């Protein structure tokens, strides 16, 4: 392929529907989905993608049942710690973006440990969005700019982006959403301004490497004009 996206944003959607179709508890769908995310990150790295930002838990997901929220928090914690050797082997640097102060203490500690352990890896930059929302990210950036007392005339795109949770990363090239839904669902709203969008009807746990190849072929055929 002539063009490989350098920054993919992923909506791993459809875990609960997948579990329901299989006659499984919905929580099993989340577990399968996270394991598929680890495989997806390896596929991306092998194809030349440098940055992957994946939606793990949104600000709206706090409204789900206490059982599901508790399970997801523990699942994320365990997956971070249990896959440290995998991240090291594959050269993956992990960072978590979102409202860390809302997360359980044990998950916060797992995040700190994982980020520290993988900080020198450079083959793939994996961003996990946990308790993240695009509106929250924008409002949080505004609040921090106000706190710093920056003059309004000095605020431009570059300065504003330096206050977003994705500061320092390239803008997303390609957004892939599995699960059949066709919306951004309050994710990377500012960052996605010129990203190419791709929607797959496949539920996330069934999304495989061949599906990624199909998506990348579609990206390769698109002509990006950036409003010009």
Mean pLDDT of 129-136: 97
Whether the Cβ atoms of residue 71 and residue 30 lie closer than 8 Å to each other: yes
Q: What is the pLDDT of residue 152?
A: 95
State pLDDT tens for residues 66-84. Answer: 999 999 999 999 999 999 9
Confidence of residue 1 (pLDDT cuts 50, 70, 90): confident
Alpha-helical (H) ranges within the chain are: 15-21, 26-46, 66-82, 84-90, 105-118, 134-147, 157-161, 209-221
Mean pLDDT of 123-146: 97
Confidence of residue 5 (pLDDT cuts 50, 70, 90): very high
Percent of the chain with pLDDT over 70: 100
Q: What is the rounded CA–CA span in Å between residue 205 and residue 52?
A: 18
Dihedral over Cα of 201, 37, 56, 156: its sign: negative
Confidence of residue 171 (pLDDT cuts 50, 70, 90): very high
User: Is pLDDT of 226 > 80?
Assistant: no
Q: What is the rounded CA–CA span in Å between residue 89 and residue 121?
A: 9
- Name residues whose C-beta falls within 8 Å of residue 205's C-beta, 6 or more positions apart in sequence: 14, 15, 18, 29, 32, 33, 36
> What is the 8-class DSSP label of residue 188?
S
Q: What is the pLDDT of residue 2?
A: 86
Higher pLDDT, 72 or 226: 72
9 SS3 class: strand
Ordered by start, the domain boundaries in the chain are 7-133+172-221
What residues are annotated to the active site?
13
Q: What is the pLDDT of residue 209?
A: 98
Q: In what order do the strands lie in the sheet with 51-58?
A: 92-97, 124-132, 51-58, 7-11, 174-177, 196-199
Whether the Cβ atoms of residue 95 and residue 121 lie closer than 8 Å to each other: no
Specify whether domain 7-133+172-221 bears CATH 3.40.50.300: no
92-97/124-132 β-pairing = parallel
51-58/92-97 β-pairing = unpaired
Q: How many CB atoms lie within 10 A of CB 194?
A: 12
Q: With CA atoms as reference, report the closest residue to 79 among 111, 50, 104.
A: 111
State pLDDT tens for residues 27-59. Answer: 999 999 999 999 999 999 999 999 999 999 999
State pLDDT tens for residues 104-120. Answer: 999 999 999 999 999 99
Confidence of residue 225 (pLDDT cuts 50, 70, 90): confident
Q: What is the pLDDT of residue 227?
A: 74
């Amino acid at each position: 392929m002539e063009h490989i996206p350098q920054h993919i944003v992923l909506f791993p959607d459809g875990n609960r529907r997948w579990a329901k179709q299989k006659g499984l508890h919905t929580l099993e769908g989340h577990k399968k989905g996270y394991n598929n995310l680890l495989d997806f990150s390896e596929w991306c790295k092998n194809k030349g993608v440098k940055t992957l930002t994946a939606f793990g838990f949104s600000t709206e997901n706090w409204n789900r049942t206490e059982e599901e929220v508790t399970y997801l928090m523990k699942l994320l914690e365990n997956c971070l710690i249990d896959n440290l050797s995998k991240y090291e082997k594959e050269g993956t640097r992990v960072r978590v973006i979102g409202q860390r102060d809302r997360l359980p203490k044990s998950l916060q500690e797992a995040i700190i440990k994982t980020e520290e352990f993988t900080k020198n890896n450079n083959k793939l930059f994996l961003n996990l969005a946990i308790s993240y929302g695009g509106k929250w990210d924008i409002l949080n950036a505004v609040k921090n700019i106000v706190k710093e007392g920056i003059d309004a005339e000095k605020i431009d795109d570059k300065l504003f982006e330096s206050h977003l949770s994705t500061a320092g990363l390239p803008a997303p090239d390609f957004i892939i959403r599995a699960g059949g839904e066709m919306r951004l669902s309050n994710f990377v709203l500012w960052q996605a301004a010129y990203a190419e969008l791709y929607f797959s009807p496949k539920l996330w746990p069934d999304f495989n490497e061949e599906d990624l190849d199909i998506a990348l072929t579609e990206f390769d055929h698109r002509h990006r004009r950036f409003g010009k």
